[in-house]
Structure 1
Amino acid sequence: MTLGRYDYERRYRRRVWAGFGKFGILAALLLGVGLFAYQMGIEQLKGRDVTLREEIATLSRQKAEFELLASQMQTAARTAEARSAELEARLQREVPTGDLARLSQLVAERIKGGLDANRLAFVISQAQTPRNCQPADSKRFTLTTPLLKGGTRGATFGNGAVTVAGEGQPSHNAQGNQESWFDPSQPVTIKITGIGGKTATATGVLPLHQSLVVDNNEYRFTFAAGQRSFVDVTADRCAYP
């Protein structure tokens, strides 16, 4: 009886310890699986974190590129607007409208019809608003040179209201010697003097043009080379203004 009870208790303890062992093994197995799953989760989170960081960096880079592109497009748009405004202003300045357009068309038709452009330009330049003018007065006078200084050298207009006189460079003969008369191919200086001390000067190679206002009259002079030593001058006198 004693032996039988002892065997029973020993087998019971053995089963109990075996149960504890199995429980321990199961717990250890579950713990290992849990730790492995946890570690895998950590690694996956790390991988996702790296991936997200790379995506964020890529998106930031793309955002910066898009902002730069947008800025460039805005600059290009402003430049295009400024260029468009400039071209529109230039178009308004250079393309004739109204009376100017009609005159431009007439000029183009005349030139196309064979009229010389220089002749047409001359005609246009001579066109003026009608003014209260006296008949033109033409005279001639001699220009002084280093070899021709004596005597009266000049002409008067408007009953002495205006005097014109001038000087030039001496001519040369075939031997290269200086002559007393002026050389019309060289620049001359003509001085116009009015009552009250008003003056005007025309300088250059003949023909020359100059005007002077004296006593509510405007004198317009045209100087051209005449016969040897002489200058032909034509004066128009008109009311001013």
Structure 2
Amino acid sequence: MSLYDSERRYRRRVWSGVIRFVIYIGVVLAAATVSYEFGAEDIEGQRRMHQEQLLEFEQARAASEQEAANLRVEVERAKLALDEWEKRYNADVPTGARRELLDLVSERLQAGVDPQRLAFYIKSAEEKRDCEDVETKRFLVRTPLYDGANTSVTFANDAVAVTGSGDSEVTDAGLPQAWFDPHKPVTLVFTRIDGQRTEVAGTLPLQQSVVHDGVEHHFLVKAGARGFAQVAAERCTYP
């Protein structure tokens, strides 16, 4: 073996070692690069996941705050509604003297007292006024079968005239009579001397006030003897 061949084998071993080292370094670098890329992708994925979770938390927090605000509004509305119902309750539900009067009225109605008559007496209850003595007269109520004499009366020197009309009373056989039926509505007409008329309709008794020449004429009309309406009048200072 010559010296040249020995040197050539030596160089081959050296280059072979260098190549293996380079290949090793390349494999290491490639593995590191791949590991870095995988690690970077994993970190980026985790970052995106955390961002999404943070966004979901923010949305949930905003929704909770909005729901809380809505609940506060509903609470305020409920308070206002409760205050309104309390006011209506206090205004509508009678207490004290009002309650006692309501109980008395209910008792009278249950006892069979006519509601219109009860309402009439309640309306008639007024404070003491400066009035003259009552003047009482009567007239025949006009019907489809009677429109003759004595169908009107006047008061206060003819200052106010009162007249009325109603339905005829009917017998059990169905025959209409000349006189009016006091259980059916009648129409009363109050005419001042200057021609001004006031009408009031309903079942007797009825009441009406007419003001003329600084005087209030107060009339109470109720059923009298058969065919008659009885009028009680008083003169009061006005106002």
In which range does the TM-score fall when normalised by the shorter chain? 0.7 to 0.9
CA distance, structure 2, for counterparts of residue 196 and residue 55 of structure 1 = 92
> Which residue matches 1:143?
141
Deviation at 1:142, TM superposition (A): 0.7
CA contact (8 A) 1:198 1:214 kept: no
2:154 is matched by which residue type in structure 1?
A: T
The C-alpha deviation readout for 1:157-200, integer Å capped at 9, x for no partner, is 11221111112222233443332222222221111111222221
In 1, distance between residues paired with 2:91 and 2:148? 56
Deviation at 1:93, TM superposition (A): 3.2
Aligned ranges for residues 46-125 of structure 1 at < 5 Å? 46-52=44-50, 54-56=52-54, 58-59=56-57, 61-63=59-61, 65-91=63-89, 93-94=91-92, 103-104=97-98, 107=100, 125=123
Sort the Cα spacing of 1:136 and 1:78 in 2 relative to 1 into closer, same or farther, 3 A. Answer: same
Structure 1 residue 102, shift from structure 2 partner: 5.3
Distance 1:202 1:122 in 2: 14
Using the TM superposition, give the Cα deviation of residue 89 of structure 1 relative to its aligned residue in structure 2, in angstroms: 3.2
Residue 153 and residue 124 in structure 1: after superposition, are their counterparts in 2 closer, same or farther (change >3 A)? Answer: closer
1:36 maps to 34
Partner of 1:24: 22
Structure 1, unmatched stretches of 5+, are: none
Question: Secondary structure at the residue paired with 1:34?
Answer: helix
Q: CA separation of 1:102/1:63 partners in 2, compared to 1, >3 Å: closer, same or farther?
A: closer
Partner SS state of residue 138, structure 1 = strand
- Alignment-mate amino acid for residue 217 of structure 2: Y
Percent identity over the alignment? Answer: 36
Q: CA deviation at 1:71?
A: 4.5
Deviations 1:42-64 (A, max 9, x none): 33134314523542453355245
**Secondary structure in structure 2 of the residue aligned to 1:41:** helix
Deviation sequence 1:197-241 (CA, Å, 0-9, x none)? 222112122221111111111111111111111111111221110
Q: Which residue of 1 aligns with 2:184?
A: 186
Displacement of 1:134 in angstroms is 0.5
Cα displacement (A) at 1:124: 6.2
Quickly say closer, same or farther: Cα 1:237–1:161, change in 2 above 3 A.
same
Contact 1:211/1:218 (8 A) holds in 2: yes
Offset, 1:11: 4.5
Counterpart residue type for residue 45 of structure 1:
I
Aligned length: 230
Do the aligned residues in 1 keep the contact of 2:120 with 2:206 (CA within 8 Å)?
no
Number of the residue aligned with 2:154: 156
Residue 132 of structure 1 and its aligned partner are, at CA, apart by 0.8
Paired residue for 1:239? 237
Out of 163, 166, 169, the position equivalent to 2:164 is 166
| Cα deviations by residue, 1:84-109 (Å, 9 ceiling, x for unpaired) | 3313433553477xxxx65347x37x
> Normalized against structure 2, the TM-score is what?
0.79
For residues 1-50 of structure 1, give each alpha carbon's deviation from its aligned partner in whole angstroms, at most 9, with x where no partner exists.
x93x4355234413421331232132122222212312321331343145
Contact 1:138–1:232 (8 Å) recurs in 2: yes
Tell me if structure 2 keeps the 8 A contact 1:200–1:211. Answer: no
Compute the RMSD of aligned alpha carbons: 3.2
